Amino acid sequence: MTDDDNLKTEENGAPGSVSAGDPSGAPEALGEKEKESPSAASAPENSTAEADHLGKNENASAGVALEKPEAESSEGSPSPFPILEKNPEEKPKKNPGDILTKALSLLSAWVQASRPAYFIVTLFPVLLGYVAAKSVTGESRPGMFFLILIASVLVHAAANMANDYFEDKAGVDGEDTLGGSRVLQEGKLTLGELKNGIIFCYLTAFILAIFIAGKNPLLWIMVIFAAFSSLFYVAPPIKYGHRALGELMVFLNMGVIMVVGTYTALTGQPNRGITALSIPPAFMVAGILFFQSLPEIREDREAGKVTLAGLLGKEGASLVYLLWWPLVWLLVFNLYLTGHLGGSSMLWVLAVPLHILVYLKIVRAADWTKLDKDGWLVKVVYLVTALSILLGAAFKPLPAV
């Protein structure tokens, strides 16, 4: 072979090799190889099938390799790009607006469960005890007043929640009944959540009572009585609210004890004057409870709950309600005559027309369940009478006897 031939051979490449710049060299080389190896063409058919099978496997492997990123990026498969790939188990970020909405909804449910519309029957007796104490001592103790008020409201809220809790468990309050705050029936709170709320309110009130009562044994007796009487209004085994004793216990707890207890905590000891002053508020709060039981007479009977209104029947309950508030006003008038209250206490006369209106609604109602919507009128009667007593006490020093 000459030098020119060697040069041509180097330029064209060795026989059977593939030029990097010419992809068409591959088939030509293969063709030449087939010609040089005729035995490959005469190979058995199973060798051809095996080669085809291997070729398919290679193609399949290549296909898997090409499709792998797409398959691995699907849900549940590991991704080769964990930084770029979104973690399927990662929880979606919470919208601050949704968090605020849920928080407000939960807060609204707890407010509904506590029934703040009735806190007026807690505010008035505590405020009356404070005004009476200030008229006697001349000292203003707003810090102690607010501690007493907060503790009293917490006990009242706990009593309302306990009423919902135990009445629901006993089957007294249901989907179609009138009583309670309805948070359980509407699915806003669970029994477990309501139970935790009751414990929180009582526990917080007890902590405040430590600072209020101090070492005064009389105040501790009042604190213990208030706590147990509020809980066992409907809680077993006592359930005195199911034994026609609701009005009596409320008379003592949210009337006498609140007025006398507040006065005692602020002055150190009670007297006969403050005891006399506590009687009208006691009848007033019992009057609200009595009216509340009128629309529920039939439901309470069916549930086995005995109330004062249920024992009296419709005619007897109507008569008792007619006389209830005039009795309160007669007591207020007597306190005015004995010098316990000033002339402003006679403003209760403004509530007389409303009381007559409520009585007429009672006697004319064929279905007493509809009286439930008239409860606000009784609250107005209570409010007008309460303001008249407060004004009478504010401008008249309370006698010691």
> Is residue 273 domain-resident?
yes
Give 116's strand partners.
none
Give 306's strand partners.
243
Kindly report the pTM of this predicted structure.
Answer: 0.74
> Is residue 328 domain-resident?
yes
Burial profile 144-159: b = 16 or more Cβ within 10 angstroms, e = fewer:
bbebbbebbbbbbbbb
Which residues fall within 8 angstroms of residue 132, CB to CB, at 6 or more apart?
A: 259, 263, 273, 274, 277, 393, 398
**Mean pLDDT in residue range 29-54:** 44
Which residues fall within 8 angstroms of residue 213, CB to CB, at 6 or more apart?
A: 219, 220, 222, 223, 265
Q: What is the CATH number of the domain that holds 128?
A: 1.10.600
Give the helix ranges, DSSP H, for 214-307: 217-231, 246-251, 258-267, 272-293, 297-302
- pLDDT digit string (tens) for 214-256? 999 999 999 999 999 999 998 999 999 999 999 999 999 999 9
CA proximity to 256, closest of 237, 281, 234:
281
Q: Which region holds residue 87: left if phi is over 0, alpha if psi is between -120 and 50, else beta?
A: beta
CA-to-CA distance for 102 and 99, rounded, in angstroms? 5
Lowest mean pLDDT among 12-16, 259-263, 315-319: 12-16
Paired tokens of 259: 């007025």
Residue 272 structural domain: 118-394
> Is residue 258 domain-resident?
yes
Q: Number of structural domains, the chain?
A: 1
> Is residue 28 domain-resident?
no
Report the pLDDT value the prediction gives residue 78, as an integer from 0 to 100: 56
> Is residue 108 domain-resident?
no
Task: Judge if the upstream peptide bond of residue 280 is cis by omega within 30 degrees of 0.
Answer: no
> Is residue 1 domain-resident?
no
Report the pLDDT value the prediction gives residue 179, as an integer from 0 to 100: 73
> Is residue 365 domain-resident?
yes
Helix (H, G, I), strand (E, B) or coil at 176: coil
74 has pLDDT over 50: no
- pLDDT digit string (tens) for 144-167? 999 999 999 999 999 999 999 998
> Is residue 153 domain-resident?
yes
Give the DSSP letter string of 9-38.
Answer: HHHH-STT---TT-TTHHHHHHHHHHHH-H
Helices and strands counted in the chain (H then E): 16, 0
- pLDDT digit string (tens) for 100-124? 888 899 999 999 999 999 999 999 9
